[in-house]
Structure 1
Amino acid sequence: MSKSDNKRGILSKNSEILSLGVILAVLILLFSLALPGKFLRPSNLQSMAFQLPELGVLAFAMMITMLTGGINLSIISSANLSGIIMAMILTRNVTPNMGGGDLGWIIFLAILAGMSISLAVGLVNGMIIAYIGISPILATLGTMTLLEGISLVITRGYVISGLPRSLLVIGNGTFLGVPVPLFILIAVAIAVAILLNKTRLGLSTYMIGSNIKATGFSGINTNKVTILVYMISGLLAGIASLIMIARFNSAKAGYGSSYLLVTVLVSVLGGINPNGGFGKVSGVFIGLILLQVISSGLNLLGISQFLTLALWGALLLGVETLRLAKRRVR
């Protein structure tokens, strides 16, 4: 194969990501011209950087299950229950005069408990889907409803607030002017990319999404892979919950309810095939930034948030139409 053919192959393989990159660049240029001195102002960029992480981590939690041809509707309710458990442990055991060492241990145990809850939810989802054979949408819908009920029973609908200041750094702190949550999002993105592209589990995930029966015949334990994928999705939801409670200084059963459909939107916009088997972390990351740029730009222009949602939907329809047109041309 010649170098020119190789280059064309690489460009074709990454055409969707390049297209999203071009759209993102055009939008940034348009908003910069429409809002001179405002849109690219450091304070606005920092504000966007604070808003990205929790939605971004949840989007990766959704993405990894969609690669198998499934979906995880319980990521928000799982994140809220995880956050509530962490907040309860912290508010009941931390006292104003507590020393650094004791405080550190309680924070560690609270985070460990929260992550364990999220992993357990992922394990249950995976086992229901893999061994009982219930479709992912119904299994996770049932889990979502169950977890929402448990969260409401525990909190009685109230907010649990007053978390330790040292924990709030995770959601509100900065390092060299860059929000700490953004570092967490980047770390999660890199970890998920390595998992999907450099490990046997990642390859198996793509294979299951492409053809689960053929994957099973190839000797891969599809049930085990499915369970692991949903456990990872649950763990990511737990990480998102940690960012949320640290950012809001509270936990509640209804936090982030509007994020669920947006995570699906971000994933599909970023190039994830809803039927599974195809998609990249980089595409989802660019799609996430794209939606945030639109939201921030329209907000600065004084345009209604409801119109922003409509434009997000229109953008998704437009991008999917172009993708379908490209496939038909090929």
Structure 2
Amino acid sequence: MIMMKALIFEKSGIENLKISDVKEPTLGPHDVLVKVKMAGVNPIDYFVVNFIPVTPMPHIPGAEIYGEVAKVGDHVKSVNIGDKVVVYNRVFDGKCDMCLQGMEQLCRNGGIISIITNGGFSEYFSVSEHNLVKVEGINDEIAASLPVAALTAYHALSTVQVFGKTVVVFGASGNTGQFAVQFAKMMGGYVIAVSNKNWVKEFGADEVVSYDKVEEKVKELTNGRMADIVINSVGSSVWDKSLSVLGLNGKLLFFGGITGSNVSLDLGAIYGKHASLIGTTGGNRKELVELASMAKKLKVKVWKVRKLEDGKEALQDLFNKNRDGRILIKIE
């Protein structure tokens, strides 16, 4: 029996997360064993460890995985040993109506890797070859940010017409926010980043405004028209501000809820503006392939790189008021 190191918990609660020796995954004929090089740390990982019912138990979290192909099943043809790959983090059957529409993230018979399967906070991870996308010529930090942080932002913005529009991004320095700023600019938007971090200007923001002055600044910068598109990647804490800066016939895109998911709605403020509220989640495989091809143009601001054995601290760091960019786990 071959063993590997992994972060694992036997019952919910971050206090139960520990580094352990576990059995290395076995491979089916269409599976690939990935030697994990780096994993992103995202709010979903914190919620998996603390709150979300998961399977199997004991459980390995980690939804955002980048590594190198170490072993392949007998029928694998699309990747070879040594290839650098990222893992599309959805289990999908490829047969349901959602999959056939190219929306594998909504597969009726699937789910999220790290919730309905073990995740990638481990030395090795096994997955179907259909979940792998090859990456070349990019650094580990960008690669490890493609499957969740970048893909979530890219998919959300792909649901609307950005060119020539004013886009306001809340949480612009966060995991998804820093990519939303980049994609909105690449797609031809006028980008107003809401952040207390001036470095987001280097990521493509035309303007950076603070949370406490966001309404007056957006009004001033748009001559009263307000935003065509608002991105809320933060959750309930900025919900009211998100709606207040949304202009007539505007679209509010939202995903993630690190500050909470429950809000009160003023229906008149929504239908009176002819506003659209658009919830999005993840992205599809085609979009992840597109991201891999454009990844050399992307930047990522990294705050901390932790070791696998410091996974508990990495998850707690998500809520550190001094956090300034992404947290990543490097697996030696």
Q: Shorter-normalised TM-score: what interval?
A: under 0.3
TM-score with structure 2 length normalisation?
A: 0.26
User: Which gives a bigger RCO, structure 1 or 2 (Cα 8 Å, sep 6+)?
Assistant: 1
More helix as a share of residues: 1
TM-score with structure 1 length normalisation?
A: 0.26
More strand as a share of residues: 2
